[in-house]
Amino acid sequence: MHTLRRTAAVLIGPALASLGAACDRLDTPTAVVEYGIIPGGGPGKATGGGQIDIVDATTGATIGKATFGFNGRREEGTNGVVRGHINYLNHVSGVHLNCEIETGGITSAPGAEPGTASFGGYECTPNSTFSNFTFDVVDNGEPGTGEPGREDSFIIRYDDDEGNHFADGGTIRSGNIQVHNK
């Protein structure tokens, strides 16, 4: 098990819950979660970008934002090639990930709503803060519908060289995520 810092909610299995987190090494751990690089996932592609709130776990107040953009795909077949890229910046902590996607795929059944995907990897550019990451997305429909519970979400987890584990994410405050099953 790994300890996450400043976690408001937890992601377990295929069900995604909102995770509002502003992560730094100064906080006492508030939740325990198991996770690792996603070994599988089905064929398809996911793309998206936008902003998420960074939330203070103690007060629940929004203390800033993070921005992200990604594209990931898994080719058809049991050993389908996974390709893609993610660029993530937490404007509060300064964490920056500019990385290649190497594992994962679409985690929802074809035609299922919401569409879900999980990706991860180890290869990041030298200007990245960390190099080991996973992220999960939910495509709950088109933005601007005003329907509660129909918002897209983005959750990212990453590790530092000392073995500390961090997470940011939740409902996106602007942007859009698209998940396409094959």
CA-to-CA distance for 111 and 53, rounded, in angstroms? 29
Q: Looking at per-residue confidence, does 94 or 161 come out higher?
A: 94
Residue 106 reports pLDDT greater than 60: yes
CA-to-CA distance for 108 and 143, rounded, in angstroms? 20
Looking at residue 8, its pLDDT comes to 30
The mean pLDDT of 9-31, rounded to a whole number, is 33
CA distances from 101 to 41, 104, 182 (A): 13, 8, 19
Reported confidence tier of residue 96, pLDDT bands at 50, 70, 90:
very high
CA distances from 65 to 11, 17, 90, 174 (A): 20, 19, 6, 11
Looking at residue 153, its pLDDT comes to 94
Looking at residue 164, its pLDDT comes to 85
Query: How confident is the model over 38-87, as pLDDT tens digits?
Result: 456 789 999 999 999 999 889 999 999 999 999 999 998 767 889 999 99
Q: Which helix (H) or strand (E) holds 60?
A: none
CA-to-CA distance for 74 and 105, rounded, in angstroms? 5
Residue 94 reports pLDDT greater than 60: yes
Handedness of CA 3, 50, 133, 89 (dihedral sign): negative
CA-to-CA distance for 41 and 82, rounded, in angstroms? 10
Residue 23 reports pLDDT greater than 50: no
Query: How confident is the model over 124-180, as pLDDT tens digits?
Result: 998 888 888 999 999 998 776 667 778 899 999 998 778 888 899 999 999 999 999
Return the domain boundaries, the chain. 2-181
CA-to-CA distance for 123 and 118, rounded, in angstroms? 16
